[in-house]
Structure 1
């Protein structure tokens, strides 16, 4: 079931590739959903993805919101260094594909 949902998320990402991301969070909501499904499975990961999508609206906060690991701990927010002014991608278009 998680694989099927993951494929649906991937299909959405392919269909919306090249458009600016309206997501207020990093990583984007679809990337968050794919990672949550992969890490936590269909039931818990799916519910995490739905909650995240419901939080993504103009009146909510924004910023770094990673998927918690299986033990419930979230990764620390990446720190920007002087040598890397754009270490945190702000939209899907800022992420460079792997070569």
Structure 2
């Protein structure tokens, strides 16, 4: 399941509009953060952390980054 999640993130990167991908103010980007979190913490905790980070984002300018 983790590899499917990572594959879906890569698909998102291919199909998401360029303006959406470039609007991210976070470093690393949320998609890269998701891949790192999935690899480091596994499927459940990785997605939990990713969803928390996405919840902090307020497009198009991004939100507050809490390390």
| Pair in the same fold by TM > 0.5 | yes
**Aligned position for 1:16:** 16
Q: Once superposed, what is the RMSD of the aligned Cα atoms? A: 2.3
Report deviation, 1:59. Answer: 7.2
- TM-score (norm: length of structure 1): 0.54
Q: How does 1:41-56 map to 2 (within 5 A)?
A: 41-56=42-57
| Higher percent of residues as helix | 2
- TM-score (norm: length of structure 2): 0.76
**Aligned position for 1:6:** 6
Runs of 4+ in 1 over 3 A off after TM superposition: none
User: 1:24–1:56: 8 Å Cα contact kept in structure 2?
Assistant: no
Unpaired runs of 5+ residues, structure 1, are 66-99
Comparing 19-28 with 2-11, greater Cα deviation is found at: 19-28
Instruction: Name the CA distance, whole Å, in 1 between partners of 2:62 and 2:47.
Output: 23
Unpaired runs of 5+ residues, structure 2, are none
Aligned length: 63
Q: How does 1:23-34 map to 2 (within 5 A)?
A: 23-34=24-35
**Aligned position for 2:37:** 36
Q: Larger C-alpha radius of gyration, 1 or 2? A: 1
| Higher percent of residues as strand | 1
